[in-house]
Amino acid sequence: MKRTIVAMPGDGIGKTVLPEAIRVLDAVGFEAEYVHGDIGWEFWCKEGNALPQRTIDLLAKHKIGLFGAITSKPKDAAEKELEPSLKGKGYSYFSPIVGMRQHFNLDICIRPCISFKGNPLNFIRKDGKGGYEEPLVNAVIFRQNTEGLYAGIEWTNPPKNVLDAFASHPKWKAFSNVPPEEMAISTRIVTKKAATRIIRAAFEYAKKYGYKNVTVCEKPNVLRETSGMMLKIGKEIAKEYPDIALWDTNIDAQMMWLTKNPEDYGVIVAENMFGDIISDGFAGLVGGLGFACSANIGEEVAVFEPTHGSAPKYQELNPSIVNPIAMILSACMMLDHLGENEKAERIRKAIAKVIEEGKVKTYDMMKLRGGPDVFKYGAVSTQQMTDEIIKNL
Protein backbone atom coordinates (compact mmCIF):
# COMPACT_ATOMS: atom_id res chain seq x y z
CA MET A 1 0.00 0.00 0.00
CA LYS A 2 1.36 3.39 -0.97
CA ARG A 3 1.31 5.69 2.05
CA THR A 4 1.25 9.45 2.41
CA ILE A 5 3.90 10.91 4.71
CA VAL A 6 3.86 14.50 5.97
CA ALA A 7 7.44 15.70 5.40
CA MET A 8 8.35 18.64 7.65
CA PRO A 9 11.93 19.80 7.01
CA GLY A 10 11.66 22.70 9.47
CA ASP A 11 14.72 24.89 10.01
CA GLY A 12 18.44 24.83 9.39
CA ILE A 13 19.93 21.44 8.64
CA GLY A 14 16.50 19.87 8.85
CA LYS A 15 16.10 21.05 5.26
CA THR A 16 19.32 19.23 4.40
CA VAL A 17 18.94 15.87 6.13
CA LEU A 18 15.26 15.15 5.50
CA PRO A 19 15.68 14.85 1.70
CA GLU A 20 18.59 12.46 2.32
CA ALA A 21 16.38 10.19 4.41
CA ILE A 22 13.76 10.19 1.67
CA ARG A 23 16.45 9.22 -0.86
CA VAL A 24 17.28 6.18 1.27
CA LEU A 25 13.59 5.30 1.70
CA ASP A 26 13.15 5.43 -2.07
CA ALA A 27 16.25 3.31 -2.61
CA VAL A 28 15.08 0.58 -0.23
CA GLY A 29 11.78 0.32 -2.09
CA PHE A 30 9.44 2.09 0.32
CA GLU A 31 6.58 3.50 -1.74
CA ALA A 32 5.14 6.73 -0.42
CA GLU A 33 3.91 10.15 -1.40
CA TYR A 34 5.47 12.98 0.60
CA VAL A 35 3.42 16.09 1.24
CA HIS A 36 5.18 19.16 2.60
CA GLY A 37 4.24 20.51 6.01
CA ASP A 38 5.13 24.08 7.05
CA ILE A 39 6.77 24.27 10.46
CA GLY A 40 9.47 26.29 12.17
CA TRP A 41 11.00 29.70 12.69
CA GLU A 42 10.07 31.16 9.30
CA PHE A 43 6.37 30.72 10.07
CA TRP A 44 6.72 32.12 13.57
CA CYS A 45 8.29 35.28 12.11
CA LYS A 46 5.76 35.66 9.28
CA GLU A 47 2.59 34.36 10.92
CA GLY A 48 3.18 34.34 14.66
CA ASN A 49 2.75 30.56 14.69
CA ALA A 50 5.58 28.05 14.23
CA LEU A 51 3.04 25.23 13.82
CA PRO A 52 0.37 26.47 11.40
CA GLN A 53 -3.09 24.93 11.48
CA ARG A 54 -2.65 23.68 7.90
CA THR A 55 0.19 21.43 9.06
CA ILE A 56 -1.86 20.16 11.99
CA ASP A 57 -4.62 19.33 9.48
CA LEU A 58 -2.18 17.37 7.29
CA LEU A 59 -0.99 15.30 10.25
CA ALA A 60 -4.56 14.67 11.38
CA LYS A 61 -5.38 13.40 7.90
CA HIS A 62 -2.32 11.29 7.09
CA LYS A 63 -1.27 10.20 10.65
CA ILE A 64 2.49 9.89 9.91
CA GLY A 65 5.08 12.67 9.96
CA LEU A 66 8.80 12.76 9.21
CA PHE A 67 10.36 15.81 10.81
CA GLY A 68 13.75 17.51 10.42
CA ALA A 69 14.63 20.15 13.02
CA ILE A 70 13.49 23.46 14.44
CA THR A 71 15.11 26.62 15.67
CA SER A 72 13.87 27.72 19.09
CA LYS A 73 14.78 30.94 20.89
CA PRO A 74 13.94 32.52 24.26
CA LYS A 75 10.80 34.61 24.63
CA ASP A 76 12.37 38.06 24.17
CA ALA A 77 14.48 37.03 21.17
CA ALA A 78 11.46 35.43 19.53
CA GLU A 79 9.41 38.60 20.01
CA LYS A 80 12.09 40.72 18.32
CA GLU A 81 12.07 38.62 15.15
CA LEU A 82 8.33 38.84 14.53
CA GLU A 83 7.16 40.77 11.48
CA PRO A 84 6.57 44.39 12.59
CA SER A 85 2.85 44.10 11.86
CA LEU A 86 2.57 41.23 14.36
CA LYS A 87 4.45 42.77 17.26
CA GLY A 88 2.46 43.77 20.31
CA LYS A 89 -0.54 41.66 19.33
CA GLY A 90 -0.19 38.99 21.98
CA TYR A 91 1.71 36.37 19.99
CA SER A 92 3.84 34.13 22.18
CA TYR A 93 6.39 31.66 20.82
CA PHE A 94 5.89 28.04 21.79
CA SER A 95 8.02 25.16 20.52
CA PRO A 96 6.19 23.58 17.57
CA ILE A 97 7.44 20.09 18.33
CA VAL A 98 6.16 20.40 21.90
CA GLY A 99 2.92 21.80 20.53
CA MET A 100 2.64 18.91 18.09
CA ARG A 101 3.20 16.39 20.88
CA GLN A 102 0.54 17.96 23.06
CA HIS A 103 -2.02 18.53 20.31
CA PHE A 104 -1.92 14.91 19.12
CA ASN A 105 -1.01 13.48 22.54
CA LEU A 106 2.23 12.00 21.18
CA ASP A 107 2.96 10.89 24.70
CA ILE A 108 5.40 8.05 24.03
CA CYS A 109 8.86 9.15 22.92
CA ILE A 110 11.29 6.34 22.05
CA ARG A 111 15.00 7.13 21.71
CA PRO A 112 17.27 4.16 20.87
CA CYS A 113 20.92 4.68 21.85
CA ILE A 114 22.69 1.70 20.29
CA SER A 115 26.35 1.69 19.33
CA PHE A 116 27.56 0.67 15.87
CA LYS A 117 30.67 -1.48 15.70
CA GLY A 118 33.65 0.51 14.48
CA ASN A 119 32.21 3.96 15.16
CA PRO A 120 35.22 6.06 16.26
CA LEU A 121 32.89 8.06 18.50
CA ASN A 122 31.81 5.08 20.61
CA PHE A 123 32.43 5.20 24.35
CA ILE A 124 35.61 3.49 25.57
CA ARG A 125 37.04 3.09 29.07
CA LYS A 126 40.16 1.73 30.74
CA ASP A 127 40.01 -2.00 31.39
CA GLY A 128 42.14 -1.97 34.55
CA LYS A 129 44.96 -3.88 32.83
CA GLY A 130 46.63 -0.98 31.07
CA GLY A 131 44.42 -1.20 28.01
CA TYR A 132 40.98 -0.12 26.87
CA GLU A 133 37.61 -1.73 26.27
CA GLU A 134 34.59 -0.68 24.24
CA PRO A 135 31.36 -1.94 25.81
CA LEU A 136 28.34 -2.44 23.60
CA VAL A 137 25.77 0.19 24.52
CA ASN A 138 22.23 -0.90 23.77
CA ALA A 139 19.83 1.32 25.68
CA VAL A 140 16.39 2.48 24.60
CA ILE A 141 14.92 5.44 26.46
CA PHE A 142 11.16 5.81 26.83
CA ARG A 143 10.44 9.45 27.61
CA GLN A 144 6.98 10.61 28.67
CA ASN A 145 6.39 13.35 26.14
CA THR A 146 3.45 15.50 27.21
CA GLU A 147 3.61 16.09 30.95
CA GLY A 148 6.19 16.85 33.62
CA LEU A 149 8.19 20.07 33.55
CA TYR A 150 7.77 20.43 29.77
CA ALA A 151 3.98 20.71 29.95
CA GLY A 152 4.42 24.49 29.76
CA ILE A 153 2.29 25.38 32.78
CA GLU A 154 4.35 28.32 34.02
CA TRP A 155 3.94 31.88 35.23
CA THR A 156 6.16 34.91 35.51
CA ASN A 157 4.63 37.39 37.99
CA PRO A 158 1.97 34.78 38.87
CA PRO A 159 -1.59 36.05 39.47
CA LYS A 160 -3.22 36.04 42.89
CA ASN A 161 -5.28 32.89 42.34
CA VAL A 162 -2.11 30.95 41.48
CA LEU A 163 -0.28 32.34 44.51
CA ASP A 164 -3.22 31.49 46.75
CA ALA A 165 -3.18 27.90 45.51
CA PHE A 166 0.54 27.51 46.14
CA ALA A 167 0.17 29.20 49.53
CA SER A 168 -1.96 26.26 50.66
CA HIS A 169 1.20 24.11 50.71
CA PRO A 170 3.21 24.26 53.96
CA LYS A 171 6.54 24.61 52.13
CA TRP A 172 5.35 27.84 50.53
CA LYS A 173 6.31 29.75 53.64
CA ALA A 174 9.87 30.11 52.36
CA PHE A 175 8.53 32.16 49.42
CA SER A 176 5.63 33.99 51.08
CA ASN A 177 7.50 37.31 51.26
CA VAL A 178 8.77 37.29 47.66
CA PRO A 179 6.96 39.90 45.50
CA PRO A 180 5.10 38.22 42.60
CA GLU A 181 6.92 40.37 40.04
CA GLU A 182 10.19 38.84 41.23
CA MET A 183 8.98 35.28 40.86
CA ALA A 184 8.63 32.65 38.13
CA ILE A 185 6.82 29.37 38.78
CA SER A 186 6.95 26.15 36.79
CA THR A 187 4.90 23.05 37.58
CA ARG A 188 5.76 19.36 37.23
CA ILE A 189 2.64 17.34 36.56
CA VAL A 190 2.49 13.54 36.35
CA THR A 191 -0.80 11.72 35.85
CA LYS A 192 -1.51 8.07 36.55
CA LYS A 193 -2.90 7.48 33.06
CA ALA A 194 0.11 8.85 31.19
CA ALA A 195 2.64 7.28 33.55
CA THR A 196 0.94 3.90 33.22
CA ARG A 197 0.92 4.13 29.41
CA ILE A 198 4.62 5.00 29.06
CA ILE A 199 5.80 2.42 31.61
CA ARG A 200 3.69 -0.33 30.10
CA ALA A 201 5.00 0.58 26.64
CA ALA A 202 8.55 0.27 27.99
CA PHE A 203 7.89 -3.20 29.36
CA GLU A 204 6.17 -4.30 26.15
CA TYR A 205 9.16 -3.10 24.13
CA ALA A 206 11.54 -4.96 26.44
CA LYS A 207 9.47 -8.12 26.05
CA LYS A 208 9.31 -7.81 22.24
CA TYR A 209 13.02 -7.20 21.73
CA GLY A 210 14.44 -9.38 24.49
CA TYR A 211 15.69 -6.80 26.97
CA LYS A 212 16.23 -8.19 30.46
CA ASN A 213 15.56 -5.04 32.51
CA VAL A 214 13.50 -1.88 32.61
CA THR A 215 14.83 1.04 34.67
CA VAL A 216 12.61 3.79 36.07
CA CYS A 217 14.98 6.79 36.14
CA GLU A 218 13.50 9.48 38.38
CA LYS A 219 14.22 11.28 41.70
CA PRO A 220 11.70 9.91 44.23
CA ASN A 221 13.89 10.67 47.23
CA VAL A 222 13.32 14.40 46.61
CA LEU A 223 10.40 14.65 44.17
CA ARG A 224 8.39 12.35 46.38
CA GLU A 225 4.99 12.82 44.77
CA THR A 226 5.70 13.03 41.03
CA SER A 227 8.71 10.72 40.80
CA GLY A 228 7.13 8.65 43.55
CA MET A 229 4.08 8.05 41.36
CA MET A 230 6.28 6.94 38.45
CA LEU A 231 8.13 4.43 40.61
CA LYS A 232 4.98 3.12 42.29
CA ILE A 233 3.30 2.47 38.94
CA GLY A 234 6.50 0.86 37.67
CA LYS A 235 6.44 -1.61 40.55
CA GLU A 236 2.80 -2.46 39.91
CA ILE A 237 3.30 -3.07 36.19
CA ALA A 238 6.51 -5.05 36.73
CA LYS A 239 4.47 -7.78 38.44
CA GLU A 240 2.94 -8.59 35.05
CA TYR A 241 6.39 -9.19 33.51
CA PRO A 242 8.17 -11.65 35.82
CA ASP A 243 10.97 -12.31 33.30
CA ILE A 244 11.99 -8.62 33.15
CA ALA A 245 13.76 -7.07 36.11
CA LEU A 246 12.63 -3.66 37.35
CA TRP A 247 15.46 -1.34 38.35
CA ASP A 248 15.17 2.21 39.63
CA THR A 249 17.83 4.91 39.58
CA ASN A 250 18.02 8.58 40.51
CA ILE A 251 18.68 10.81 37.52
CA ASP A 252 21.82 12.36 39.02
CA ALA A 253 23.38 9.01 39.92
CA GLN A 254 22.36 7.59 36.55
CA MET A 255 24.35 10.27 34.75
CA MET A 256 27.42 9.18 36.71
CA TRP A 257 26.79 5.52 35.93
CA LEU A 258 26.60 6.30 32.22
CA THR A 259 30.38 6.23 32.06
CA LYS A 260 30.79 3.42 34.56
CA ASN A 261 28.59 0.59 33.31
CA PRO A 262 26.34 1.76 30.41
CA GLU A 263 26.18 -1.75 28.94
CA ASP A 264 24.13 -2.94 31.93
CA TYR A 265 21.07 -0.89 30.97
CA GLY A 266 18.35 -1.96 28.56
CA VAL A 267 15.07 -0.05 28.49
CA ILE A 268 14.90 3.13 30.58
CA VAL A 269 11.70 5.07 31.27
CA ALA A 270 11.40 8.59 32.68
CA GLU A 271 9.33 11.76 32.85
CA ASN A 272 9.74 14.39 30.15
CA MET A 273 12.77 16.38 31.32
CA PHE A 274 14.62 13.48 32.91
CA GLY A 275 13.99 11.44 29.74
CA ASP A 276 15.42 14.28 27.67
CA ILE A 277 18.53 14.44 29.83
CA ILE A 278 19.20 10.71 29.99
CA SER A 279 18.63 10.15 26.27
CA ASP A 280 21.13 12.86 25.33
CA GLY A 281 23.56 11.39 27.84
CA PHE A 282 23.34 7.92 26.31
CA ALA A 283 23.46 9.39 22.79
CA GLY A 284 26.87 10.81 23.64
CA LEU A 285 28.13 7.27 24.27
CA VAL A 286 27.12 5.99 20.82
CA GLY A 287 28.39 8.78 18.62
CA GLY A 288 26.49 11.90 19.63
CA LEU A 289 23.55 13.65 18.06
CA GLY A 290 24.59 12.61 14.56
CA PHE A 291 23.31 9.13 15.45
CA ALA A 292 20.39 10.04 17.74
CA CYS A 293 16.97 9.15 16.35
CA SER A 294 13.53 9.22 17.96
CA ALA A 295 9.85 8.45 17.59
CA ASN A 296 6.90 10.39 19.03
CA ILE A 297 3.92 8.04 19.13
CA GLY A 298 0.29 8.69 20.02
CA GLU A 299 -2.78 6.54 19.69
CA GLU A 300 -3.42 7.76 16.12
CA VAL A 301 -0.56 10.01 14.96
CA ALA A 302 3.18 9.35 15.00
CA VAL A 303 6.08 11.70 14.16
CA PHE A 304 9.69 10.64 13.68
CA GLU A 305 12.66 12.97 14.10
CA PRO A 306 16.39 13.15 14.85
CA THR A 307 17.12 14.72 18.22
CA HIS A 308 19.78 17.12 16.96
CA GLY A 309 18.89 20.78 16.55
CA SER A 310 18.73 22.94 13.47
CA ALA A 311 22.45 23.94 13.62
CA PRO A 312 21.90 27.10 11.53
CA LYS A 313 25.66 27.78 11.28
CA TYR A 314 25.95 24.74 8.98
CA GLN A 315 22.85 25.40 6.90
CA GLU A 316 24.52 27.51 4.24
CA LEU A 317 27.60 25.32 3.75
CA ASN A 318 27.76 23.95 0.21
CA PRO A 319 28.45 21.09 0.02
CA SER A 320 26.83 20.23 3.32
CA ILE A 321 28.97 18.61 6.02
CA VAL A 322 26.34 17.36 8.49
CA ASN A 323 25.79 13.72 9.36
CA PRO A 324 22.46 12.42 7.94
CA ILE A 325 22.48 9.13 9.88
CA ALA A 326 20.26 10.32 12.77
CA MET A 327 17.62 11.40 10.27
CA ILE A 328 17.91 8.13 8.32
CA LEU A 329 17.63 6.07 11.52
CA SER A 330 14.51 8.08 12.42
CA ALA A 331 13.08 7.05 9.06
CA CYS A 332 13.88 3.43 10.01
CA MET A 333 11.80 3.87 13.17
CA MET A 334 8.97 5.09 10.95
CA LEU A 335 9.29 1.94 8.83
CA ASP A 336 9.15 -0.22 11.97
CA HIS A 337 6.00 1.61 13.08
CA LEU A 338 4.41 0.94 9.69
CA GLY A 339 5.30 -2.76 9.76
CA GLU A 340 8.05 -2.40 7.14
CA ASN A 341 10.58 -4.09 9.41
CA GLU A 342 12.53 -5.82 6.65
CA LYS A 343 13.23 -2.53 4.88
CA ALA A 344 14.19 -0.87 8.16
CA GLU A 345 16.62 -3.68 8.96
CA ARG A 346 18.20 -3.48 5.50
CA ILE A 347 18.90 0.22 6.02
CA ARG A 348 20.36 -0.33 9.49
CA LYS A 349 22.63 -3.08 8.16
CA ALA A 350 23.80 -0.80 5.35
CA ILE A 351 24.61 1.95 7.87
CA ALA A 352 26.41 -0.56 10.08
CA LYS A 353 28.51 -1.77 7.15
CA VAL A 354 29.54 1.76 6.17
CA ILE A 355 30.54 2.57 9.75
CA GLU A 356 32.42 -0.68 10.33
CA GLU A 357 34.37 -0.35 7.07
CA GLY A 358 35.42 3.13 8.17
CA LYS A 359 36.22 4.39 4.68
CA VAL A 360 33.50 7.04 4.57
CA LYS A 361 33.12 9.41 7.52
CA THR A 362 31.41 12.73 8.08
CA TYR A 363 33.33 15.43 9.94
CA ASP A 364 31.86 14.56 13.35
CA MET A 365 33.02 10.95 12.99
CA MET A 366 36.54 12.29 12.45
CA LYS A 367 36.30 14.54 15.54
CA LEU A 368 36.84 17.64 13.43
CA ARG A 369 35.57 21.11 14.13
CA GLY A 370 32.75 21.82 11.71
CA GLY A 371 33.52 24.14 8.79
CA PRO A 372 34.06 24.21 5.02
CA ASP A 373 37.67 22.99 5.34
CA VAL A 374 36.77 19.52 6.71
CA PHE A 375 36.92 17.98 3.25
CA LYS A 376 40.66 18.48 2.95
CA TYR A 377 41.04 16.14 5.94
CA GLY A 378 39.04 13.40 4.24
CA ALA A 379 35.53 14.06 5.54
CA VAL A 380 32.66 13.37 3.16
CA SER A 381 29.63 15.50 2.48
CA THR A 382 26.11 14.78 3.69
CA GLN A 383 25.15 13.57 0.23
CA GLN A 384 28.23 11.35 -0.11
CA MET A 385 27.41 9.60 3.16
CA THR A 386 23.88 8.95 1.89
CA ASP A 387 25.29 7.67 -1.41
CA GLU A 388 27.49 5.18 0.45
CA ILE A 389 24.58 3.92 2.56
CA ILE A 390 22.45 3.46 -0.56
CA LYS A 391 25.32 1.62 -2.28
CA ASN A 392 25.40 -0.84 0.63
CA LEU A 393 21.69 -1.59 0.56
Which domains, ranges and CATH numbers included, belong to the chain? 1-107+298-393 (3.40.718.10), 123-148+189-285 (3.40.50), 153-186 (no CATH)
pLDDT in tens, 209-227: 999 999 999 999 999 999 9
> What are the C-alpha distances in Å from 117 to residues 57, 195, 229, 238, 392?
41, 34, 38, 32, 16
CA distance 20 to 8: 13
| Stretch 258-269: mean pLDDT | 95
Are the beta carbons of 262 and 245 closer than 8 angstroms? no
Q: How do 108-114 and 293-297 pair as beta strands?
A: antiparallel
Q: How confident is the model at residue 315 (pLDDT cuts 50, 70, 90)?
A: confident
**Are 67 and 97 contacting, i.e. CB atoms less than 8 angstroms apart?**
yes
pLDDT of residue 163: 97
Reported as a single tens digit per residue, the pLDDT across 238-254 is: 999 999 999 999 999 99
207: left (phi over 0), alpha (psi -120 to 50) or beta: alpha
- Give me the count of residues in the chain: 393
Q: State the pLDDT confidence band at 1, using cuts at 50, 70 and 90.
A: confident
